[in-house]
Amino acid sequence: MGDSVGHDHDEDGFRSGLARGELLVPVCRQCGAVLDYAQRVCGECGSAALGWRQAEGRGVLRSAVEMSVSYVDSLQAPYLVASVRLAEGPHLLARYAGTWDDVRGGQPVNALVEDGALCFKPA
């Protein structure tokens, strides 16, 4: 994998990570703090020099919704979308490869990157 910090903090950084099979979280290059995905300035030190680093791939389920329409060909409705808080802190929405029986607030989940797409599975 090599050094996963130091990519330009562009919108494509996250997607390029997924394309390589890596889940990345935004980090401040100045102080190392992990940021939320929408942040453009570090809340700790005010720096706008942001980069990416690989996430552990663990998180906690906060909520889920069932999608009844397929917005992309690769996802056949109905499917679940989960709101997950990653172990590093940031929040993400992604497909949930579980069932309603696995939907409990606080359910530990693991991130899975397959074919450039992220999903979460019950841990």
The site for Zn ion (CB under 5 A) is made up of 28, 30-31, 33, 42, 44-45, 47
Residue with smaller CB distance to Zn ion, 50 or 61 = 50
DSSP three-state, residue 17: helix
Report in angstroms how near the CB of residue 89 gets to Zn ion at its nearest.
13
Minimum Å distance from CB 45 to Zn ion?
A: 3
Residue 31 Cβ, how far from Zn ion at the closest point, in Å? 3
Q: Following CA atoms 53, 85, 66, 113 in sequence, which dihedral angle do they give, to the nearest 10 degrees?
A: 30
Question: Alpha-carbon distance 92 to 109, whole Å?
Answer: 12
Smallest Cα–Cα separation from 56: which of 113, 117, 116? 113
With respect to Zn ion, which residue has the nearer C-beta, 44 or 66? Answer: 44
Q: How far is the CB of 60 from Zn ion (least distance, A)?
A: 24
Is residue 54 helix, strand or coil?
strand
Q: Two tokens at 4?
A: 């996963």
C-beta closer to Zn ion: residue 44 or 114: 44
Instruction: Extract the tokens encoding 26.
Output: 């935004």
Is 47 or 74 the residue whose CB approaches Zn ion more closely?
Answer: 47
